[in-house]
Each structure stands twice: as C-alpha cells, then as structure tokens.
Structure 1
Amino acid sequence: MNSKEAKTGQGVDIIKSTVLTPALVESILEIPNLGKVVSLINVGSGDAISVRDVIEALAEKRHFIENLALVDADTKIFPDLVETATSEPPHSLNTQVLESGDRDVIAAFLERFEGQYDIAITKLVLQQIPTVAEASYLMYSAYGALKPTGELLLKF
C-alpha cells in the first residue's frame, strides 16, 4: 500500500488493490473489440487511487484512457480526488471530476455525457447507497453515458 492509500484511511484499500483491481482489469481486457484508446467512468471513485491502479495496469497492456470521469457523492474527499486526478503521470488528457451528495446532480452530469464512454465501473459502492431505487437510478444514469457498445462493470 502506498502512502496515498494510507492517507485515505479506508480499510478496503488492500482488498481493492489485491483482489478487485486485478479482477476489474481482467474483466475490462475481456471486453470484445476493446480499443487501444478508451473512455472510462468510475462511479464511486472515492479518492481515485484504485482507478489510477486500473489505468496503470491497462497501460501496461497497451490500452490507454482518452477521457476519464470520476464521480463520487462524498464531498469531504474532494481535495484528495483532485490531487490524485492531477498527479503525474496524468490519468487522461481529459478528466471530468464530480462530487455531489445530490443524486440529481450526478445524474445530470452523466446525462451530459450520454453515449460518450466505453466503460463504466463501480467498485464497492452499491452497498453504501441507502435504497435500491437510488442505486438503480445511479446505475441507469451511468449506463446512459455509455456508447451503444459500452460495458458497465460492477465489482462488489
């Protein structure tokens, strides 16, 4: 675990880095006709450390992120998210960041990018959402931001 991960104080960081990230990268690489340059949305990005690990693992396999959207409802970690998103090397030349506790704001953000992303991912986020309706609405909004050939990947 690097110092940035320790800073977050999240006990799940070890599980994310050793179990979820490798499984997620494997799932992404299994997508039929996966391009060498793709667009990615991370719903429930937290401080974006784990998505950075995904991006680095994909880069090792010669797949690169052209557009990146980091979406989270926890506004208290916004400074950490911005720091991660702007650190070297950059995740993507085009990174969108949204943190809002208002699901309608998140849905409007995702609708703005309707049909523009290749992959949407979530990791350990759905159990943090208080109602099934709210979780469904979030996943529906993320799905709408995908291209017709896009993939929505959920990891618990």
Structure 2
Amino acid sequence: MSDAVQPDEPPAGRSKLPLMMGLVLALLLGAGGFFVTNSGLIGPRSEVVGTDPPADLPEIAFLPVAPVTISMPGLASDSHLRFTAQLEVVSAHAGEVELLMPRIVDVLNGYLRAVQPASLQEAGALIRIRAQLLRRIQIVTGEGRVRDLLVTEFLFS
C-alpha cells in the first residue's frame, strides 16, 4: 500500500489580503473625496444662505380688468374669445390707472376684435397678443404706470 493517507490539510484558499486592501483603499478614497469637496478645493464653495435679508418687494398693486367676451367673425355663431387679465401697476399710480379702466377695456376690445381667428391657434399667439396689448395699454396710461399685463383667462371656443 503505497497510497498512504495523509493528515487533513486545509485546502489552499485565496488570500483575504486583496479584499482587505481594497476595503481600506475605498475608505481612504471616500474620506479624501469628502475632504476635497467639503473644503472647496473642487466645485463651488458653499456659502451660508440667508445671511442678507431679502430685498423689499417693489411697491406694486394688481388691478383686475373687466372680462372681455368677443364673438369671432367669420366663424360659426357660437365661436367666442373670453379674455380676463390683471394689470400690475406701480402703487402710486393705481388710482390713475383705475380711472382710465374704460379706455383700457376699449383698447382690449378693439385689438381682440381685429385678431384673425386662425392666428389664435398658432403656438406663440398668446405671447404675441399679450405683448401687443401691454404696449397699447402703456400708451393709454402713460409710460411708467403699468408694469405688466397678467393674462388670467384666454379661452377660445
């Protein structure tokens, strides 16, 4: 019997050294990345938010414009455009603009009646109409009184 039984030797396994080195290296790289980022060496430096008080809001007021409903010419009798807006005005001039509200509504009616129904379905129609109306309102009220026209309803049916 030449085949002698040898005592049990543990099977040759892999060393755990590479796993431990990888874990230590990952921890070191993570800590180094945190330090570099937190110290501001890379990326924007974080500032404390809220150190300065916020700026005061401008002195403005919002004046509602009477809703305007217009039947659209050249279409079926049940086609209408409903337009509602508010004016952003300088507070000091709110009374003056309120006094001119009938003229403003007249300008709105005149311009919206002249708009072609086909142009209302274009992509930038509302932006273009808003800009045209704001310019006309500023002419009626005088420069520096009306800051913006806020369209709250624009319904074409």
Q: TM-score range by the shorter chain?
A: under 0.3
- With normalisation by structure 2, the TM-score equals 0.25
- With normalisation by structure 1, the TM-score equals 0.25
Please say which structure displays the higher CA radius of gyration.
2
